[in-house]
Amino acid sequence: MFPTSSTFSSEAPRRLPRLSRAFFVALGLCICVRLVVWLVPDSIQRFHGGVNDRDFLAAEYNLRSTQPHLVVAVMGSSVLYEGVSASLLASELGLEPEGVASGAFRGGTAYDAVLMLRRDPGLFGQLHLLIIDAQLWQFNDRSWEFRSPHSYRYASLRDRMGIYEFGYRAVAVADWFWPFVSERRQLRQWLAGHKSVGPLLPPRRRQPNADFAPATQARRQSERFHFSVAMATAWHELLAFTEQRGVNVLLVQPPKRAAYQDWIDKNATAAYRQYLSFVHSLDGPGVAVHTWERPDEIGLSDDSFYDYGHMSEDGAARFTRFLATMIRREGLLLPAGRSPSQPVASP
């Protein structure tokens, strides 16, 4: 026998309150979880799982662990992670070993530096100089933006709203309200407990492969180029911070194998020039910008790299010494805005 209309009408009022209660219980649970994530983020992040932010946290640890002795910080991508030896740079500049630390890591950008400084505005302490790199791929929305998973954990809602591609923007915004990407773990991972955060491990230079051939990487990094306003904004935020703190910035584009730049010059001139124009527009008081394209410009050779642009151990040593000479020559360890001719006590 089918239910009559009177049966539906009598059951509907009872169902609605149940649905309303379930909705508000679910909403309350979501709000509670979001508040916990907001109030104790570092504690939750040390549970294994979720997004892979170990390199980010380890790089941050490197900088924090050298306070208050840190004089020079190296940040940015794997090109500087493998291309600058912190211990050698400290020795060349006459600093204590704790005077130089590297917070560069694979995929790192100026945006990651901004995220670290938002989390800990005192991260730079008494820093005199920040060395950081710029790369073409970092300014291509289609090859950088939110491809680093840890961005889902640390980005602000405003950052997420400014993402260029709709799909990534929708997921990132939704994750801010309900962290289904950044804080998702299996039960066994929660039960496993905290994992300690330690220093970033020394570079392990990999064997070259076809994916990291110069022409292949040049094509990938410039493909369907769309200039990243989000990255440009991050640079302005970073430099506003360093200016306020009196920190000098050495912004570099390290050279790559000649074949990389040859491909760019033939196939991606407009994209490269747009990126380069922005980078050089940042040059000014307290900010020194140097962009090198081919290794012979600074006394290196193609043999200084083990792939398209990551340096071998010998290449890194030579590049580090080159940077030390430049830093001394340009007086970049002096307080920002001071001329090298004006004496100042050694750090």
pLDDT at 12: 54
Computed over every residue of the chain, the mean pLDDT equals 86
In 175-210, which positions are buried (b, 16+ CB within 10 angstroms) versus exposed (e)? bbeebebbbeeeeeeeeeeeeebeebeebeeeeeee
pLDDT at 344: 34
Phi-psi region of 186 (alpha: psi -120 to 50; beta: other; left: phi over 0): beta
Ranking 100-109, 142-151, 181-190, 292-301 by mean pLDDT, the lowest is 142-151
How many C-beta neighbours within 10 Å does residue 61 have?
17
pLDDT at 275: 98
Q: How far apart are CA 85 and CA 91, in angstroms?
A: 10
pLDDT digits (tens, 9 = 90+) for 4-18: 444 445 555 555 566
pLDDT at 189: 73
Q: How far apart are CA 100 and CA 77, in angstroms?
A: 17
Q: How far apart are CA 131 and CA 251, in angstroms?
A: 6
In the predicted model, what is the mean pLDDT of residues 105-112? 93
207 vs 346: which has the higher pLDDT: 207
pLDDT at 7: 47
Q: What share of the chain is helix, strand, coil (3-state, %, to 5)?
A: 55, 10, 40
271 vs 183: which has the higher pLDDT: 271
Residue 235, classed as helix, strand or coil, is helix
pLDDT at 200: 83
| Spatial CA neighbour of 311 closest among 58, 72, 78, 73 | 78
pLDDT digits (tens, 9 = 90+) for 17-73: 666 777 777 778 777 877 776 676 667 766 666 666 788 889 999 999 998 999 999
- In which order are the strands placed within the sheet that holds 287-291? 100-102, 72-75, 129-133, 248-253, 287-291
Residue 95 has pLDDT above 50, yes or no: yes
Tally of residues, the chain: 347
pLDDT digits (tens, 9 = 90+) for 259-304: 999 999 999 999 999 999 999 999 999 999 999 999 999 999 999 9
In the predicted model, what is the mean pLDDT of residues 165-190? 83
Indicate the pTM of the whole model: 0.84
Any idea which residue has 């022409």 for tokens? 215
Percent of the chain with pLDDT over 70: 83
Residue 227 has pLDDT above 60, yes or no: yes
pLDDT digits (tens, 9 = 90+) for 194-224: 677 778 888 877 777 778 899 999 999 999 9
Could you tell me the pLDDT band of residue 177, with boundaries at 50, 70 and 90? confident
Strands in the chain per DSSP E: 72-75, 100-102, 129-133, 248-253, 287-291
pLDDT digits (tens, 9 = 90+) for 294-340: 999 999 999 999 999 999 999 999 999 999 999 999 999 986 544 44
